[in-house]
Structure 1
Amino acid sequence: MNDWTHIIISSVLFAVTLFTITKIGGKKQLAELSFFEYVSGITIGSIAGEVIMGLDGNFFHGVLAIGIFGTFTYLHDLLGIKSKKFRDFFEGKATVIIKDGKVMEDNLKKEKYTIDELNSLLRQKNVFKTADVEFAVLEPKGDLSVLLKKELLPLTAKDINLPVAAEKETYTVIMDGNVLHDQLSSAGKNKGWLDIELANLGVTLDNVFIGQVDSYGKLFIDTYDDQIQVPTPKPRKLLLAMLNKCQADLELFALATESSSTKEMYNKNAKKLKEAINKVQPFLRE
C-alpha cells in the first residue's frame, strides 16, 4: 500500500469512527466539555492524527484505541446520569463567587480566578458593578450564572399582573421558494391560505427565501430581493384600536345625552366592552 492510499483509507476510516463515537455520545459532546471529556477528546484526536499520518502504523489498532476511549467517555456520561457523587468528582461542583454583592475571595482563589477575569465574565453578562449582583455562581464548565438584585431586574408582565397570551411554536412553511407542506399543515393552514397571504403582501412564491407562521397565524417572510419592502400586516392591532374607539365612543355618548336611562345604557355597555377588551387584549397586542 503506497503512502497516498494509506492516508486516504485511514482518513475515511477514522472519520467514520469518530462520527460514530460522537453520535453515540449524543449532543452533549458538542456542547462545552467537562474535564474528562476534554482529556478524552484530545487523546482521541491525537491517536487519529498519529495513525493517519504514521505511515508505518496499523490503523486498525488506532481504531481500537479510539473505540476504548470512546467507551470510557460513554460510560462516564452514563455513570454521571446515575450518580451525583460521580458527577461531582469528575465534573466538579458549582462555586458561589458573589453573594449579596460581595465577592467571595476564598472561593475565587480556590477556582484560580483573578478579579480581572471575574470582571470580564460579568461584563459578558452586561454587569459592570459587583454591587449590582445578588448571586453569582461559577458553573463546573466555566460559565458564570448571574442573578441581579431584585430592583435591577427588568419588569415583567407577571410583576404588574398583566395577562399575556401563551406563545407557541413558529412554523417555517416556505424555504428557498418551496412550500413545506408538513409544516404548513402543522400550523393549521393550507396552500390556498398561503397563496392569498402572499398575494396580499405582493410577492411571489419563487421570490421568498423563508416564510414563517407564528402562534397567532400571521405569516412573516424574507425575500431574496432585499430591495423589496414587504408590508407588515397588523390586523390584530387595528382590531384592538377599533374596540378601544368603540368603548370611548360609548362613554362620550353617555356624557352627551340628557336621558338618565340612555346614559345608564351607554355606561353599562361601555363597561362590558371594557371588560371584553381586557380579556382579549393579550391576544391582540402586536
Structure 2
Amino acid sequence: MNPYVDVIIRSIIAFLSIFFAARILGKQTVSRMTIFDFIAVVTLGSVTANLAFALEVKARYIFLVFFIFVLLIYLSAFLSLKSKRARKYVAGDPTVVIENGKILEHNMKKMRYTLDYLNQQLRQKDIFSIDDVDYALVENNGLLSVKKKEAHLTVTRKDLHIFKEEVKLPIELMMDGEILLNNLKENDISKEWLLSELKKRNLTIERVVYALLTSNNKLYIDIHDDKLHSPMDVE
C-alpha cells in the first residue's frame, strides 16, 4: 500500500478510536482533569499518535494496546464508583490550604503549591485578600474551593427576607422558520396562539429566525433581513 494512503487511513482510525474512547469513558476525562484523568488522556493520545504514523509497527498491535488502555481506564473508573478506598487511591483527596483563616504551609509544601499561586486562584474568584477567607481547599482537579468569612459573604435575597416566585426557563417556540411543535406541546402552548401573535406583528412563519417565550411570559422574535428585533409583548 502507498505509505501516504496508509497514513491517511491510520489517522482516520486513530481519530475515530480516540473519539469513541472519549464517549465510553465519559465527560469527566475531557473536562477538568484529575491526575488519573491526565494520565489517561496523555496515554491515549500517545497510543493514537503512534497508530497514525508509526508505520513500522503493525496497526493491529497498536490498536490492541489502545484497547487495553481503554479497558484499564474504564475498570479503574468503575472501581472508583464502587469502592471509596479505590476512589481515594485513584483520584486522591482534596487538600486543605486555609483553615479558620490560617494558611496551612505544610499542606502547601507537600503539594509544591506556592502563595503566589494561591493568591492568583483567589483573585480569579474575586477575592483579593487572604484575610477574607475562612476555609479553602485544592480539589482533585486542581481547582480551588473557597468559603469566605461570614463578614465577607455576599448578601442574598434570603438574608434580606426578599422572596420571589421561582423563575421558569424560557421556551423556544420557533427556530430557522420552523415551529418547534414538541416545545409547544410540552408547555401547553397552542400553535394557534403563536400564529395569532405572528399575525399581530404582520409576520409569516418563513420570516421568523427565532421566537422565544421569556421567563416573564413575553414573546421575543427575531426576523430575517432585519437588524432590529421586533418588540416584546407588553401584555
Any idea what SS the aligned residue of 2:121 has?
helix
Shift of the 215–43 alpha-carbon distance from structure 1 to 2, 3 Å rule, reads: same
Segments of 5+ residues of structure 1 without an aligned counterpart are 236-286
Residue 68 of structure 1 aligns to which amino acid in structure 2? I
Contact 2:177/2:205 (<8 A) preserved: yes
Any idea what SS the aligned residue of 1:86 has?
helix
Distance 2:75 2:6 in 1: 32
The structural deviation recorded for 1:102 is: 2.7
- Between Structure 1 and Structure 2, which shows a larger proportion of helix residues? 1
Instruction: Select between 102-111 and 193-202 the one with higher mean Cα deviation.
Output: 193-202
Deviations 1:48-92, CA, capped at 9 Å, x for gaps: 112211222211111111111111111111111111221212211
Aligned pairs (5 A) from 1:68-87: 68-87=68-87
Partner of 1:153: 153
Shift of the 230–110 alpha-carbon distance from structure 1 to 2, 3 Å rule, reads: farther
Partner of 1:53: 53
Contact 1:102/1:130 (<8 A) preserved: no
Aligned pairs (5 A) from 1:104-183: 104-183=104-183
The structural deviation recorded for 1:214 is: 3.9
Deviations 1:177-230, CA, capped at 9 Å, x for gaps: 322111222122122222233445665544444333345543334455563143
Residue 94 of structure 2 aligns to which amino acid in structure 1? A
Distance 1:201 1:140 in 2: 54
Contact 1:33/1:141 (<8 A) preserved: yes
Bigger CA radius of gyration: 1
Any idea what SS the aligned residue of 2:194 has?
helix
Distance 1:82 1:122 in 2: 34
Aligned pairs (5 A) from 1:183-202: 183-200=183-200
Distance 1:117 1:159 in 2: 33
Contact 1:187/1:213 (<8 A) preserved: no
Segments of 5+ residues of structure 2 without an aligned counterpart are none
Partner of 1:100: 100
Contact 2:7/2:52 (<8 A) preserved: yes
Identity %: 33
Distance 1:207 1:133 in 2: 54
Shift of the 226–119 alpha-carbon distance from structure 1 to 2, 3 Å rule, reads: farther
Shift of the 145–211 alpha-carbon distance from structure 1 to 2, 3 Å rule, reads: farther
The structural deviation recorded for 1:117 is: 0.6
Distance 1:201 1:102 in 2: 62
Residue 194 of structure 1 aligns to which amino acid in structure 2? L
More relative contact order, 1 or 2 (CA 8 Å, 6+ apart): 2
- Root mean square deviation of aligned Cα: 2.2
Shift of the 8–194 alpha-carbon distance from structure 1 to 2, 3 Å rule, reads: same
Q: Aligned residue pairs: how many?
A: 235
The structural deviation recorded for 1:101 is: 2.8
TM value normalised by structure 1: 0.74
Distance 2:165 2:201 in 1: 26
Distance 1:202 1:132 in 2: 57
Contact 2:17/2:48 (<8 A) preserved: no
Any idea what SS the aligned residue of 1:117 has?
helix
